Amino acid sequence: MESRSALTVEAATDSTDPMRRGLRSLAELPIGFSARIVAVNGASHIARRLMEMGFVPGAPVSVVRQAPFGDPLEVRVRSCHLAVRRAEARTIVVGDPQSFIG
């Protein structure tokens, strides 16, 4: 719990340089890249829904594509494909982009 809170605070205060220490929001993860979820912030009713759908710290996540009109994003968490709007994706903090999934 302690370490997760620490990361949350850092991610929140790091707005001037989101790339520092590799932390960024899911909305900033380039299409085709994957990363691990570090924290889910934001209002509890939204964050709860996201977590129930599999967006939990530690889970691998990748951005598959964006919808034809730019929003929402198609995101893959574990083996599950989900549509999330950019607004929700911004509340999910992820670590370093790790690999290219093609």
Partner 1 sequence: MSTTFDSPPLTNDADLRTKRRQLTIAIAGNPNAGKTSLFNALTGLRQKVANYPGVTVERKEGIWALEGGRTARLIDLPGLYSLDASSIDERIARDVLMGRARGLPAPDAIIAVVDATNLARNLYLITQLLEYEPPVVIALTMVDMAERRGIDIDVQRLRDLLGVPVVPVVAPQRRGLNELSRAVSEAARHGATKRVQWRLSEQAEREIAALCGDGEAGPAARRRVMEELYGEELPPDQNRRALILAARQRLQAHDPNWWQEPLLARYRFIERIIAEVERTKEAKRDLTMAIDSVITHRFFGPLILAAIMLLVFQTIFAWARVPMDLIDGAFGALAQAVHAYLPPGLFTDLLADGIVAGVGSVLVFLPQITLLFLFITLLEDSGYMARAAFIMDRLMRGVGLHGKAFVPLLSSFACAIPGIMATRTIENQKDRLATILIAPFMSCSARLPVYTLMIAAFFSDRRIFGFLSVGALLIMAMYLLGITVAVCVAWVLKRTILRGPTPPLVMELPPYRLPNPLTILQTIWSRAWLFVRRAGTVILAISIILWALANFPRVAPEGDRAQTVADRSAVESEQLKHSFAGRLGHLIEPVIAPLGFDWQMGIGLISSFAARETLVSTLSIVYNVGREADSSSPSLIEAIRKARRPDGRPAWTPLTAISMMVFFVLACQCMSTVAVVRRETNSWRWPIFMVLYMTALAYAAAFITYQGGRLLGFG
| Contact status: 70 vs partner 1 (CB under 8 A) | yes
**CA distances to 17, 60, 78 from 11, in Å:** 10, 18, 23
Site for partner 1 contains 35 (CB under 8 A): no
8 A C-beta contact, residue 73 and residue 89? yes
- C-alpha span between 61 and 1 (Å, rounded): 21
Provide φ and ψ at 49, rounded to 5°: -60, -45
Q: How far is the CB of 29 from partner 1 (least distance, A)?
A: 17
- Residue of 29, 39, 63, 93 interacting with partner 1 (CB under 8 A): 39
Stretch that binds partner 1, among 15-23, 24-32, 71-79 (CB under 8 A): 71-79
Please report whether residue 7 would count as binding partner 1 according to CB under 8 A.
no
Compute the half-sphere exposure of residue 81: CA atoms within 13 Å on the CB side of its CA.
6
Please report whether residue 92 would count as binding partner 1 according to CB under 8 A.
no
Nearest approach in angstroms of CB 40 to partner 1 is 7
